[in-house]
Amino acid sequence: MKEIVVLSGKGGVGKSSLTAAVGYLLAEKYSIVLADTDVDAPNLHLVLGAELESTHPVSASDKAFIDYDICSRCMQCVDVCRFSSIIGEDEPIIISYSCEGCGACSLVCPLEAISIEPVENGKLNILHSGLIRVVSGELAVGASSSGRLVDVVKRRAGEVAELNGSDLLLTDGPPGIGCPVIASLKGVDYVVLVTEPTPSALSDLKRVYEVIRFFKVAAGVVLNRADMHEGSRQAVFTFLQENDLDLLVEIPYDPLLPEALARGALAVTMYPEAPSSVALRQLSTSLSDLVAGESEIR
Ligand code: SF4
Ligand code: SF4
């Protein structure tokens, strides 16, 4: 089974709608599972109109808890917390939302009054859209450890894909360049980087590419809304050339695409002849060759 992740370095450049469209098109030929690891704002299932099969609580973070019946109020734990998550002058109080569960306070406590326990910080949803299975992570509001939740989603999606005998696990990756993105890269064969011709999108592309290059994962670039600005389009080409990065496809700005999304449908199904649909079909053909091993992954 091949594993491809779609990243952009930030939100708003069309990553999820591209993942949904390409997933739909690849499912015409392959058995695929989609994973949504944008756990702060999962919306792949909405773009696909997927139906919920089951939901499962996830404990992907640990927090400190004080047993006040044992605590002597010595306040040693306050000083040791690097995250300033224990406050109080006469009695230690743990600020749960900022506690990273590192365990330092529990180590320093002379009375073993502090325990580190797993807490529920998100959900894992299993959905389907036609024959496509979707595994989606959803971080609880105000919860931390999104990187660990991404890892949980990826592992579960991998299990579902294996169980189904799938050819491809296609992942809608998280935005940014931090821990969740790094977690999303684990074990992947190829990264599709989505950008658009604006200076800010190019800056985001450069930053996320640094991460990908560090982990030595093969990647190619999709230029979305490619005809928005010629100067910025050329700037993207220059970056690709300097880094020997493949341009997978240019998707023109196409008002039919957001119109279909607003109607809760994919443009590739609603308007198959639209310029954006033609480009997305071209992208899915390139990725199909990668899945089949008929083109080189570099
Ligand atoms: S577990 Fe770590 S972060 Fe949480 S309160 Fe204790 S020392 Fe602070
Ligand atoms: S170190 Fe232990 S005993 Fe001392 S204040 Fe903290 S929890 Fe209480």
Summarised one tens digit per residue, pLDDT across range 97-153 is 889 899 999 999 999 999 999 998 899 999 999 889 999 999 988 777 788 899 999
pLDDT of 296 above 80: no
pLDDT in tens, 227-277: 999 999 999 999 999 999 999 999 999 998 888 888 888 999 999 999 999
pLDDT of 208 above 60: yes
Q: Where are the domains of the chain?
A: 2-59+123-292, 61-119
Q: How far apart are CA 40 and CA 52, in angstroms?
A: 18
Q: Which atom in ligand 2 lies closest to the alpha carbon of residue 67?
A: 7
pLDDT in tens, 215-229: 999 999 999 999 999
The residue whose C-alpha atom lies closest to atom 4 belonging to ligand 2 is 74
State the CATH architecture for 2-59+123-292.
Answer: 3-Layer(aba) Sandwich (3.40)
Task: Give the residue, 184 or 12, on which the prediction is more confident.
Answer: 184
Cβ atoms of 226 and 247 within 8 Å: the answer is no
Pocket of ligand 2 (CB under 6 A): 66, 71-77, 92, 109, 111, 113-114
**Ligand 1 contact, 113 CB (< 6 A):** no
Q: How far apart are CA 286 and CA 169, in angstroms?
A: 16
pTM beyond 0.85 = yes
pLDDT of 50 above 80: yes
Q: How far apart are CA 75 and CA 86, in angstroms?
A: 9
Cβ atoms of 17 and 38 within 8 Å: the answer is no
**Ligand 1 contact, 81 CB (< 6 A):** yes
Q: How confident is the model at residue 289 (pLDDT cuts 50, 70, 90)?
A: confident
Residue 71, CA distances (Å) to 23, 61, 89, 100, 117 in order? 54, 24, 14, 21, 17
pLDDT at 39: 93
Tokens of 195: 């950008």
The 3-class SS string of 131-189 reads CEEEEEEEECCCCCCHHHHHHHHHHHHHHHHHHHCCCEEEEECCCCCCHHHHHHCCCCC
Local structure of 54: helix, strand or coil: strand
The residue whose C-alpha atom lies closest to atom 8 belonging to ligand 2 is 71
CATH of 61-119, one of 3.50.50.60, 3.50.40.10, 3.40.50.300, 3.30.70.20: 3.30.70.20
pLDDT at 265: 87
The residue whose C-alpha atom lies closest to atom 6 belonging to ligand 2 is 77
Residue to probe by mutation, ligand 2, list 114, 115, 116, most atoms within 8 Å of CB: 114
pLDDT of 298 above 60: no
Average pLDDT, stretch 171-176? Answer: 93
Cβ atoms of 191 and 7 within 8 Å: the answer is yes
Nearest one of 263, 261, 204 to 236, comparing CA atoms: 204
Which residue in the block uniquely carries the two structure tokens 């030929």?
A: 29
CA of 72 to the centre of ligand 2 (A): 6
**Ligand 1 contact, 42 CB (< 6 A):** no
The percent of residues above 70 in pLDDT, for the chain, comes to 98
pLDDT at 295: 61
**Ligand 1 contact, 104 CB (< 6 A):** yes
Tokens of 270: 């609603």
Q: How confident is the model at residue 168 (pLDDT cuts 50, 70, 90)?
A: very high
pLDDT at 297: 53
Cβ atoms of 25 and 268 within 8 Å: the answer is yes
**Ligand 1 contact, 33 CB (< 6 A):** no
pLDDT at 97: 86
